[in-house]
Amino acid sequence: MTWVTENLHRHFLFRSSRSHTIISLKVAHCSNSENSSLKSVQTSKLCLVDLAGSERAGKTGNTGVRFKESVRINTGLLALSKVISALSEPARTHHSTHIPYRDAKITRLLRDSLGGTAHTLMVVCVSPSHQSADETLGALQFASKARYIRNCPREALNYKEQLLEQKDVALRQTKTDLEKLLLDSKVSFQVLEQEKERNRLQVRRTVWNSFFLNLFYTLQNLATQIHQIDAAVFDSSSAVLFYLNLC
């Protein structure tokens, strides 16, 4: 709830407060969308505004601090009048123009209610006194411009927070999957290195087996040859002895 008030009596009308009063109520409603898993956030806002009238300093009789306050209030009303004029310009001339919402605090607070998506009801009060003829004329001109403002009331659903939440969940899931993938890759790399080492040892074992097998065959051949040589030597020795016996 927002309160903007300066409760000071005016010299011009003692029973009226020289102030603006704004009561702003905001209500948020969350609901599930029929065609989506997203939760929509519907926000409603009600503004009750009581604006102080714009009066000449000579009539109010304010001086000092109250005079400065009156100047600030009239400055805010002037900024509001410029916003009203800018909003009514497209309807009268069919040309878009800049809307000076930021010129005053009062126009920033009422931005959603002026030319936006809200339903706006404005009541302009005037005085029948001839002493207030200038103020009455200004109020009627203000109301005449406000009649040209066309709001476009519509329901606006806000999925922003839900989308951000879903993106955060998806980001965390992606991070988890990536960490798992990196861990699996590390394990797979270790398994691959172990497999390479086993293959390397197997190749070495095969080479050594082949070497020892060839060595065995070579030694076997040498043993056969030695046996044959021994047999030949034995035969030769027997022949020599037989020959000697004959002699």
Give yes or no for a contact between 74 and 54, defined as CB atoms under 8 angstroms apart: yes
Using one digit for the tens of pLDDT, what is the confidence trace for 76-85?
888 998 998 8
Query: Counting Cβ atoms within 10 Å, is residue 49 exposed (0-12), middle (13-18) or buried (19+)?
Result: middle
pLDDT (average), residues 90-111: 80
- pLDDT (0 to 100) of residue 98: 84
pLDDT of the residue at 93? 61
Q: pLDDT digit string (tens) for 14-42? A: 555 667 889 988 888 777 656 555 566 67
pLDDT at 1: 45
Q: What is the mean pLDDT of the chain?
A: 78
Confidence label for 87 from pLDDT (cuts 50, 70 and 90) = confident
Q: What is the pLDDT of residue 58?
A: 65
Looking at residue 146, its pLDDT comes to 87
Mark 184-213 as b/e (b = at least 16 C-beta within 10 Å): eeeeeeeeeeeeeeeeeeeeeeeeeeeeee
What's the whole-number mean pLDDT along residues 72-92? 83
Instruction: Please give the share of the chain, as a percent, with pLDDT higher than 70.
Output: 75
Q: Is 241 left (phi over 0), alpha (psi -120 to 50) or beta?
A: alpha
- pLDDT at position 8 is 45
Q: How confident is the model at residue 48, as a pLDDT? A: 92
Using CA atoms, how far residue 52 sits from 74, 79, 201, in Å, is 9, 14, 96
Q: What is the mean pLDDT of residues 46-65?
A: 76
Segment 57-78 mean pLDDT: 76
Range among 92-96, 109-113, 187-191 with highest mean pLDDT value: 109-113
* Cβ neighbours of residue 67 closer than 8 Å, sequence gap 6 or more: 57
Q: Which residue has the higher pLDDT, 6 or 165?
A: 165
118 has pLDDT over 60: yes
pLDDT tens digit string along 164-197? 777 888 888 888 888 888 777 777 777 788 888 8
Instruction: Please report the pLDDT score of residue 158 as a whole number.
Output: 59
Residue 236, sorted as left (phi over 0), alpha (psi -120 to 50) or beta, turns out to be: alpha
Determine the average pLDDT of the residues in 93-109. Answer: 81
